[in-house]
């Protein structure tokens, strides 16, 4: 039995039934990380000793008869923008090299209570700004399906780790598609939960009103099990939903006790979205609609509201918020200070530290955000974007009445080759066109595998649902995954023991 | 010669009297070791998030209601962005767009015709404290003050002189203290004021260009800065010069101000709504609750003291000068003491003790129960006022029950007429000259003799009895 080929809940089952020990799973994954990570660059940090001692700790609790969660003892990886006391948390930026948080994010506390074994921190675009991990200070992660291609981003390290068998599941964060797009590029199921369902306390902010932590795994059922571990109403996060506690446990139930018949469910398919994408993506998404139809769902037409506005509105708001959120990295507490800092005046000191500490893409977005908030431009840009966001939210509320979910592609194409649009930020930004609406509206959205293209790269589909109805999305995708095997496909490089 | 009118507006910052900070649960206590009252939130660590301390909104609501502000139904926080080493997030959470209160007013005490309009009241967090160490040429940051809740109270330019401005500040300070909003200790920085000053030719309407003055650490300094700045502007205009809109820094030692930055160099704070803090709904039920629990305001107390307890206007005003005196008065009366007795004791002995001990009224540790017992003993002729004074002095340094103390030390008043008669007789015998003087018509000699009797009784003799007996016995001397 190849442990690394099991799903997370299958592995959790074996550990709970004492057929294997938590340490066995830990050893298996340590061996895989050691063979493959150097090439894949999926982890920025991991520590064998820390992994083993966590596994032993969880095993002790299980042996003492404690009931933790279905995922107790299952090793998992965490995106490097989620604060952990076990590992440095750097956001893949030079600015935060060596920063070891003195506190754990709420999701980390929740996971540890659930018996998770945290293997390490995964690569990402610097401060989550990017869609390829190319902006990482430590270089990009590679796509396990084809190492000349990007795993996506910004949670690309998490995606590469799970796809390559270096982890059973991982946490990502999603501000404009950063969980869903890499999930699609690496043949994973990834959920951007409803805004407020998962605490953001300890998530290093990119854009506070859009950021949300969520699971990336090999199936909807795994994602559901993770959601039950991480969801909580958090008094430390004012934007945390008071539904979170009641919601807990409903996700896993949605996939375990799910009625496979989708009779009465309405899924909307926006034809105009299909017209804009690669033929392979169009075909795969259409076939997905057909599967839902076979399962008994009604497929109804839909028009994506204000589609041209979504990406600009998203970048205006995200960059504006980021310009505030990242202002604290000024070299006083973080980053490298110049040797002759004491000779500089304060402004020169800040300029030096921020110019040296941030990468190109981060600087681009901070400049943009600073500009749109500046006196004289606020009304014309930022305020207008806020109004537009309100209109998009209202339109979705109106148009999704009576509809359970909207089905569409995650991205216009499969994973592009690395550095394809390096000098063309607009081309990169526009590929977020199908993912940003979920963040702007706060709605949950799930990406899931729906085929492999001619080049051997995975293609993903996406369902967007109703606020706080994340369990419905997980149930729909679970139903789909009982009828299809796209999600079970693994890249050849994921085979155990083979160097990547 | 042209005469000018001075136009003044004030921006007052006051630290709220909450136990914990505005967005985290760290303590707000003043004077602790540097950087011992911090957490990821107030240190602005990556990933930490603010959560509003509801007590801050409640105290802010109190002040808004007390100054007749209209309450913003949905109030919001904004980020004010600027870089400075005492500001770890590089933005201050403040309120620009939807402050908690607007359009209020405050009446002055000594200028009853002057009603100062309040433009707005908003909540915000304080920054840390920078100390420059000239010996090592290093700047040190103490983040204990980071996140301490502040209210900023912005007046309209309705004040016309330094006296009016100081009256406004004193009235506001008293209100803040009585509402339990702030302890207003200027020396600890819990009350700070920036002053906007402009001048215009008497009789004209348009406002002149204003300057903003910062860095005044006392009421005195504020008064001096206003007088100085208005004169500077008048002199400048008389010389044909122009006022620049700028921020100036007051130097109290030199009694001069210096330009800090002009309007052209004003910072762009790029305010925007803080996405980490949802808007706060101030619904009617919440406002009503705050209104019901509103502490009595100083002027309400003052009139109640006069009507309910028959204190004089002067006494009532003195006793509402600071919350401690008012509460001492009320608590001591609640323990059964006579209002007039309490009032005269506080304004007399208590304040005298503070003056001689060079301390604040609240620094004396005598409890209201004990004070009430002491005053009742005087009223019931158990002890003389002289004895009470010395017992009180002893109580300042010792936790005692005054009744047992009087009993144990035999300090009770001597009322026995035979004993007293003997005492008076022996005094008269020993003071032949004074007796002669009295009989020769010197009234003063009698006072002296009474004093001698009191001294002999160590202050315990019933003064009324002594007075009577001395008179009686002296008269007996008159007829040999």
User: What is the ipTM, given to two decimal places?
Assistant: 0.95
Residues 6+ apart with CB under 8 A from B434: B445, B448, B449
Q: Which of A328, A342, A352, A377 is the mutation pick for testing B, counting most B CBs within 10 A?
A: A328
Q: With an 8 Å Cβ cutoff, is A202 touching chain B?
A: yes
A154 given a catalytic annotation? yes
Of the candidates A83, A93, A136, A154, the residue annotated as catalytic is A154
Q: Helices A470-483 and A279-294, interaxial angle, to 10°?
A: 90
Please answer yes or no on whether B276 and A91 come within 8 Å at the CB atom.
Answer: no
Tell which A residues from 346 to 365 touch B, by Cβ distance under 8 Å: 346-347, 350
Q: With an 8 Å Cβ cutoff, is A238 touching chain B?
A: yes
CB atoms within 10 A of CB B401: 13
Q: Which residues of B51-79 are buried (b: 16+ CB within 10 A; e: fewer)?
A: bbbeebbbbbbbbbbbbebebbeebbbbb
A-chain CB neighbours of B90 within 8 Å are 324, 327-328, 330
Residues 6+ apart with CB under 8 A from A273: A304, A307, A408, A409, A434
- The pLDDT confidence band at residue A249, using thresholds 50, 70 and 90, is low
Q: Which of B144, B100, B140, B143 is nearest to B119 (CA)?
A: B100
Query: What pLDDT, on the 0 to 100 scale, is given for residue B480?
Result: 56
Please answer yes or no on whether A324 and B278 come within 8 Å at the CB atom.
Answer: no
Q: Which of B52, B81, B277 sits opposite A327 (nearest CB)?
A: B81
State the DSSP H helix or E strand holding residue A496, giving kind and residue range, or none if neither: none
Task: Name the least confident of A235-244, A393-402, A482-491, B154-163.
Answer: A235-244
Domains of chain B in start order, with CATH, are 4-285 (no CATH), 296-408 (no CATH), 417-478 (1.10.10.410)
Distance in angstroms (rounded) separating the CA atoms of residues B73 and B63: 16
Tell which A residues from 92 to 131 touch B, by Cβ distance under 8 Å: 96, 99, 101-103, 105
Task: Classify residue A21 by its DSSP letter.
Answer: -
A-chain CB neighbours of B268 within 8 Å are 374-375
Angle of CA points A226, A212, A378, to nearest 5°: 175
Closest A-chain CA to B81: A324
Please answer yes or no on whether A373 and B81 come within 8 Å at the CB atom.
Answer: yes
Q: Which of B47, B51, B271 sits opposite A105 (nearest CB)?
A: B47
Q: What share of chain B is helix, strand, coil (3-state, %, to 5)?
A: 40, 20, 40
> Is the four-CA dihedral B123, B128, B132, B137 of positive or negative sign?
negative
State which residues of chain B have pLDDT below 50: none
User: CA of B93, closest CA in chain A: separation in Å?
Assistant: 11
Query: What pLDDT, on the 0 to 100 scale, is given for residue B350?
Result: 93
CB atoms within 10 A of CB B13: 17
A-chain CB neighbours of B79 within 8 Å are 324
Distance in angstroms (rounded) separating the CA atoms of residues B229 and B257: 8
State the DSSP H helix or E strand holding residue A335, giving kind and residue range, or none if neither: none
Rounded to the nearest integer, the mean pLDDT of chain B is 92
Query: What pLDDT, on the 0 to 100 scale, is given for residue B240?
Result: 93
Please answer yes or no on whether A208 and B52 come within 8 Å at the CB atom.
Answer: no
3-state secondary structure of A349: helix
Q: What are the two backbone dihedrals, phi and then psi, of residue B439, each rounded to the nearest 5 degrees?
A: -65, -25
**A223-232: average pLDDT:** 95
Please answer yes or no on whether A82 and B276 come within 8 Å at the CB atom.
Answer: no
Distance in angstroms (rounded) separating the CA atoms of residues B54 and B40: 20
Q: Which of B47, B270, B278 sits opposite A83 (nearest CB)?
A: B47
A79 given a catalytic annotation? yes
Q: With an 8 Å Cβ cutoff, is A296 touching chain B?
A: no
Q: Kindly state the percentage of chain A with pLDDT values over 70.
A: 97
Residue ranges of E strands in A184-286: 189-192, 213-217, 266-269
pLDDT(A1) > 70: no
**What confidence tens digit (pLDDT) does each residue in B387-434 have?**
889 889 999 989 889 988 888 887 877 778 888 888 888 888 888 888
In chain A, where the domains are located: 3-260+488-494
Q: With an 8 Å Cβ cutoff, is A377 touching chain B?
A: no
A-chain CB neighbours of B81 within 8 Å are 323-324, 327, 373
CB atoms within 10 A of CB A287: 14
Distance in angstroms (rounded) separating the CA atoms of residues A235 and A232: 9
3-state secondary structure of B326: helix
Q: Which of B46, B91, B268 sits opposite A324 (nearest CB)?
A: B91
A209 given a catalytic annotation? no
User: CA of A291, closest CA in chain B: separation in Å?
Assistant: 40
- Bridge partners (DSSP) listed for residue B62: none
B-chain CB neighbours of A238 within 8 Å are 49-52, 276-278
Closest B-chain CA to A333: B88
**What confidence tens digit (pLDDT) does each residue in A77-114 have?**
999 999 999 999 999 999 999 999 999 999 999 999 99
Query: What pLDDT, on the 0 to 100 scale, is given for residue B336?
Result: 92
Please answer yes or no on whether B50 and A201 come within 8 Å at the CB atom.
Answer: no
A-chain CB neighbours of B85 within 8 Å are 332, 346
Query: What pLDDT, on the 0 to 100 scale, is given for residue B98?
Result: 97
Characterize the bridge pairing of strands B115-125 and B149-155: antiparallel
Angle of CA points A414, A420, A423, to nearest 5°: 140
A-chain CB neighbours of B44 within 8 Å are 328
B-chain CB neighbours of A91 within 8 Å are 46
State the DSSP H helix or E strand holding residue A78, giving kind and residue range, or none if neither: strand A75-79
What tokens appear for B360 in the block? 């604040």
* CATH class label, A3-260+488-494: alpha beta
What tokens appear for A217 in the block? 């795994």
DSSP-assigned letters across all residues of A263-307: TT-EEEE-HHHHTTS-HHHHHHHHHHHHHHHHTTPEEEE---TTH
Rounded to the nearest integer, the mean pLDDT of chain A is 94
Q: Which of B45, B49, B81 sits opposite A200 (nearest CB)?
A: B49
Name the more confident of A116 and B377: A116
State the DSSP H helix or E strand holding residue B368, giving kind and residue range, or none if neither: helix B368-379
Please answer yes or no on whether A378 and B270 come within 8 Å at the CB atom.
Answer: yes
Distance in angstroms (rounded) separating the CA atoms of residues B225 and B166: 11
Query: What pLDDT, on the 0 to 100 scale, is given for residue A419?
Result: 93
Of the candidates A7, A45, A79, A240, the residue annotated as catalytic is A79
Query: What pLDDT, on the 0 to 100 scale, is given for residue B303?
Result: 95
Helices (H), B67-120: none
Of the candidates A178, A232, A240, A244, the residue annotated as catalytic is A178
CB A487 within 8 A of CB A219: yes
- The pLDDT confidence band at residue A250, using thresholds 50, 70 and 90, is confident
Please answer yes or no on whether A330 and B90 come within 8 Å at the CB atom.
Answer: yes
A:B CB pairs within 8 Å: 98
Q: Which of B51, B90, B275 sits opposite A209 (nearest CB)?
A: B275
Query: What pLDDT, on the 0 to 100 scale, is given for residue A500?
Result: 53
Query: What pLDDT, on the 0 to 100 scale, is given for residue B181?
Result: 96
Q: Helices B463-478 and B444-456, interaxial angle, to 10°?
A: 130
What tokens appear for B359 in the block? 């301390």
- The C-alpha R_g of chain A, in whole angstroms, comes to 21
**A12-19: average pLDDT:** 95
Kindly report the length of chain A: 500
What tokens appear for A357 in the block? 């500490």
Task: State the distance between the two ends of chain A, measured CA to CA, in whole angstroms.
Answer: 20
Please answer yes or no on whether B47 and A332 come within 8 Å at the CB atom.
Answer: no
CB B42 within 8 A of CB B146: yes
**What confidence tens digit (pLDDT) does each residue in A197-216 have?**
999 999 999 999 999 999 99
Helices (H), B112-218: 162-178
Query: What pLDDT, on the 0 to 100 scale, is given for residue B406?
Result: 84
Q: Which of A82, A236, A375 sits opposite B51 (nearest CB)?
A: A236
Query: What pLDDT, on the 0 to 100 scale, is given for residue A259?
Result: 62
Q: With an 8 Å Cβ cutoff, is A419 touching chain B?
A: no
């Amino acid at each position: 039995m190849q442990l690394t080929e099991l799903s997370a809940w299958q592995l959790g089952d074996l550990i709970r039934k004492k057929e294997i020990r938590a340490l066995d799973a830990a050893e298996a994954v340590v061996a895989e990380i050691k063979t493959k990570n150097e090439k894949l660059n999926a982890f920025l940090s991991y520590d064998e000793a820390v992994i083993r001692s966590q596994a032993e700790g969880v095993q002790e609790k299980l042996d003492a008869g404690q009931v933790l969660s279905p995922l107790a003892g299952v090793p998992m990886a965490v995106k490097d923008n989620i604060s952990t006391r076990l590992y440095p948390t750097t956001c893949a930026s030079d600015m935060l090299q060596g920063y070891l948080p003195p506190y754990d994010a709420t999701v980390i506390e929740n996971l540890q209570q659930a018996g998770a074994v945290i293997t390490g921190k995964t690569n990402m675009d610097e401060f989550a700004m990017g869609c390829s991990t190319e902006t990482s200070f430590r270089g990009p992660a590679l796509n396990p399906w084809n190492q000349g291609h990007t795993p996506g981003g910004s949670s690309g390290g998490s995606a590469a780790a799970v796809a390559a068998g270096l982890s059973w599941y991982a946490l990502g964060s999603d501000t404009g598609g950063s969980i869903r797009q890499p999930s699609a590029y690496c043949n994973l199921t990834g959920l951007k939960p409803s805004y407020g369902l998962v605490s953001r306390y300890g998530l290093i902010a990119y854009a506070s009103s859009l950021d949300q932590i969520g699971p990336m795994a090999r199936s909807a059922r795994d994602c559901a099990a993770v959601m039950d571990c991480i969801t909580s109403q958090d008094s430390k996060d004012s934007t945390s939903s008071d539904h979170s506690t009641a919601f807990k446990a409903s996700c896993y139930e949605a996939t375990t006790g799910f009625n496979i018949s989708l009779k009465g469910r309405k899924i909307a398919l926006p034809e105009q979205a299909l017209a804009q994408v690669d033929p392979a993506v169009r075909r795969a998404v259409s076939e997905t609609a057909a599967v839902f139809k076979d399962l008994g769902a009604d497929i109804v037409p839909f028009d994506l509201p204000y589609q041209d506005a979504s990406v600009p509105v998203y970048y205006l708001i995200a960059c504006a918020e980021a310009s505030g959120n990242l202002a604290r990295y000024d070299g006083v507490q973080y980053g490298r200070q110049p040797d002759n800092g004491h000779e500089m005046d304060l402004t020169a000191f800040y300029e030096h530290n921020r110019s040296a500490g941030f990468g190109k893409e981060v600087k681009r977005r901070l400049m943009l955000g600073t500009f749109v908030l500046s006196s004289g431009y606020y009304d014309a840009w930022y305020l207008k974007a806020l109004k537009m966001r309100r209109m998009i939210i209202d339109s979705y509320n109106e148009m999704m009445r009576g509809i359970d979910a909207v089905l569409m592609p995650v991205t216009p194409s499969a994973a592009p080759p690395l550095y394809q649009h390096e000098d063309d930020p607009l081309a990169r930004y526009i590929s977020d066109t199908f993912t940003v609406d979920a963040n702007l509206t706060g709605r949950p959205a799930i990406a899931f595998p729906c085929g492999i293209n001619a080049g051997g790269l995975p293609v993903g589909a996406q369902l967007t649902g109703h606020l706080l109805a994340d369990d419905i999305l997980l149930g729909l995708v679970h139903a789909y995954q009982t009828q299809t095997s796209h999600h079970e496909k693994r890249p050849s490089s994921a085979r155990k023991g083979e160097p990547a | 010669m042209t005469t000018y009118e001075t136009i003044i507006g004030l921006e007052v910052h006051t630290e709220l009297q909450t136990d914990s900070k505005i967005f985290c649960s760290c303590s707000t206590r003043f004077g602790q070791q540097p950087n011992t009252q911090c957490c990821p939130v107030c240190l602005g660590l990556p990933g930490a998030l603010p959560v509003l301390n509801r007590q801050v909104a409640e105290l802010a609501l109190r002040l808004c209601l007390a100054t007749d502000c209209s309450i913003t139904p949905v109030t919001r926080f904004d980020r004010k962005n600027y870089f400075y080493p005492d500001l770890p997030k590089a933005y201050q959470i403040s309120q620009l767009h939807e402050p908690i209160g607007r359009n209020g007013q405050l009446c002055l005490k000594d200028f009853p015709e002057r009603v100062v309009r309040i433009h707005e009241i908003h909540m915000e967090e304080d920054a840390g404290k920078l100390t420059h160490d000239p010996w090592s040429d290093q700047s040190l940051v103490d983040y204990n003050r980071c996140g301490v809740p502040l209210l900023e109270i912005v007046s309209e330019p309705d004040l016309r002189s330094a006296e009016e401005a100081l009256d406004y500040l004193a009235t506001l300070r008293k209100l803040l203290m009585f509402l339990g909003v702030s302890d207003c200790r200027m020396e600890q920085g819990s009350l700070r004021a920036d002053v906007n000053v402009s001048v215009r030719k008497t009789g004209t309407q348009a406002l002149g260009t204003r300057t903003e003055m910062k860095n005044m650490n006392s009421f005195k300094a504020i008064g001096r800065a206003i007088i100085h700045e208005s004169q500077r502007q008048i002199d400048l205009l008389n010389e044909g010069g122009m006022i620049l809109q700028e921020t100036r820094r007051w130097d109290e030692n030199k009694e001069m101000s210096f330009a800090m930055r002009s309007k052209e160099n004003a910072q762009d704070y790029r305010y925007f709504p803080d996405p980490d803090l949802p808007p706060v709904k101030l619904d009617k039920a919440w406002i009503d609750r705050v209104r019901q629990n509103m502490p009595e305001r100083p002027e309400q107390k003052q009139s109640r003291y006069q009507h309910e307890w028959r204190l004089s206007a002067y006494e009532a005003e003195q006793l509402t000068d600071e919350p401690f005196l008012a509460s001492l008065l009320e608590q001591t009366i609640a323990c059964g003491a006579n209002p007039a007795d309490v009032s005269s004791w506080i304004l007399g002995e208590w304040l005298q003790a503070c003056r001689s001990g060079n301390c604040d009224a609240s620094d004396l540790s005598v409890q209201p129960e004990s004070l009430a017992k002491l005053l009742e003993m005087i009223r019931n002729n158990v002890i003389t006022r002289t004895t009470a004074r010395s017992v009180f002095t002893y109580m300042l340094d010792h936790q005692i029950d005054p009744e047992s103390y009087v009993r144990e030390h035999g300090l009770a008043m001597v009322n026995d007429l035979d004993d007293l008669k003997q005492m008076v007789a022996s005094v008269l015998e020993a003071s032949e000259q004074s007796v002669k003087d009295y009989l020769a018509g010197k009234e003063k000699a009698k006072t002296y003799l009474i004093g001698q009797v009191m001294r002999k009784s160590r202050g315990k003799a019933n003064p009324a009895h002594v007075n009577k007996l001395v008179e009686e016995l002296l008269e007996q001397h008159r007829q040999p």
